[in-house]
């Protein structure tokens, strides 16, 4: 992987402008006097999800413009947020050929070694969206619901070479991959599974590249990705920075 190039950024919508100093509309003390923890959570989530949506808009434009035909694979589908973004943007690009695979335990996180995770909220069963709940969200969204396939199970058990071979036999080729599995061990299973399903131009989006560990990309999911990339038959070129936490990479044939 090269880190020497400048990267384009999926940016948030522009802030509201003001006709005078400081030239942007910034809430002051009166507006923020009653600002609560709930307000903070909503504010952060709105900004984070806006950045992710901007990425999905750019990613599907990239796939369409470069004529990269294939499927969407998401690993870690809590609340179907990014999954719905993928469905919507695929429809906007008229990608009726695309299939959508949701890989998740649908039972929350597996057992987590407290010495190896960055937040005390990451405990067994956290971040759970059940399979029936996920399917109901997708059905309610009403976009390409008939093209969605769920693959339940913890990754070290469900992501087998046999499953990869079966998907490849069904002509599954990854066009866009979202890796949102939080844990190093989970990412190792995901990335090893993906190798035979990759193709030139496929985008690999790491949701948690700079999340946790005081922002270090030397641990967690990105550590797993660096190890995978070093051994892979593919080259992964940095592409779009997604908010402050994530980044995508373009899959390329090695020279």
**Mean pLDDT, residues 103-124 taken together:** 63
Q: Among the listed ranges 8-12, 94-98, 166-170, which one has the minimum average pLDDT value? A: 8-12
Q: pLDDT by residue (tens digit) across 73-94? A: 999 998 999 999 999 999 999 9
Lookup result for tokens 């909220």: 121
Tell me the two tokens of residue 97.
């050929």
Residue 125: inside a domain: yes
Residue 63: inside a domain: yes
Output the DSSP codes for 147-169. GEEEEES-HHHH--HHHHHHHHH
**Mean pLDDT, residues 42-58 taken together:** 94
Instruction: Give the total number of structural domains in the chain.
Output: 1
- What is the domain-level CATH number for residue 191? 3.40.50.150
Residue 24: inside a domain: no
Alpha helices in the chain (DSSP H): 29-32, 37-65, 81-92, 131-141, 155-158, 161-169, 184-194, 220-231
Residue 209: inside a domain: yes
Q: Quick one: pLDDT band at residue 185, thresholds 50, 70, 90? A: confident
Note down the domain range covering 227. 35-253
Q: pLDDT by residue (tens digit) across 192-216? A: 999 999 999 999 999 988 887 788 8
Which residues, other chains included, contact 107 with Cβ-Cβ below 8 Å and sequence gap of 6+?
125, 128, 130, 154
Task: Give the burial class of 17: count Cβ atoms within 10 A of its Cβ; 0-12 exposed, 13-18 middle, 19 or more buried.
Answer: exposed
Residue 14: inside a domain: no
Residue 16: inside a domain: no
Q: Quick one: pLDDT band at residue 176, thresholds 50, 70, 90? A: very high
Residue 122: inside a domain: yes
Residue 21: inside a domain: no
User: Is the four-CA dihedral 48, 104, 1, 208 of positive or negative sign?
Assistant: positive
């Amino acid at each position: 992987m090269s880190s020497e190039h400048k990267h384009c950024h999926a940016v948030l919508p522009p802030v509201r402008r003001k006709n005078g100093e400081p030239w942007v509309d910034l809430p002051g003390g009166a507006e923020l006097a009653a600002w609560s923890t709930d307000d903070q959570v909503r504010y952060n989530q709105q900004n984070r999800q806006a950045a992710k949506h901007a990425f999905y808009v750019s990613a599907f434009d990239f796939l369409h413009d470069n004529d990269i035909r294939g499927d969407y694979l998401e690993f870690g589908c809590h609340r179907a947020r990014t999954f719905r973004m993928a469905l919507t943007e695929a429809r906007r690009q008229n990608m009726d050929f695309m299939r959508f695979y949701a890989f998740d335990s649908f039972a929350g996180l597996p057992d987590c070694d407290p010495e190896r995770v960055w937040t005390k909220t990451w405990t067994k069963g956290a971040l759970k969206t059940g399979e029936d709940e996920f399917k109901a969200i997708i059905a309610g969204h009403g976009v390409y619901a008939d093209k969605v396939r769920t693959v339940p199970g913890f990754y070290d058990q469900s992501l087998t070479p046999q499953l990869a071979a079966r998907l490849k036999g069904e002509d599954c080729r990854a066009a866009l991959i979202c890796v949102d599995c939080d844990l190093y061990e989970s990412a190792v299973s995901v990335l090893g599974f993906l190798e035979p399903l990759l193709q030139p131009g496929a985008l690999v989006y790491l949701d948690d590249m700079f999340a946790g560990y005081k922002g270090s990309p030397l641990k967690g999911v990105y550590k797993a990705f660096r190890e995978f990339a070093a051994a892979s038959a593919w080259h992964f070129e940095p592409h779009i920075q997604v908010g402050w936490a994530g980044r995508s990479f373009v899959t390329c044939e090695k020279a």
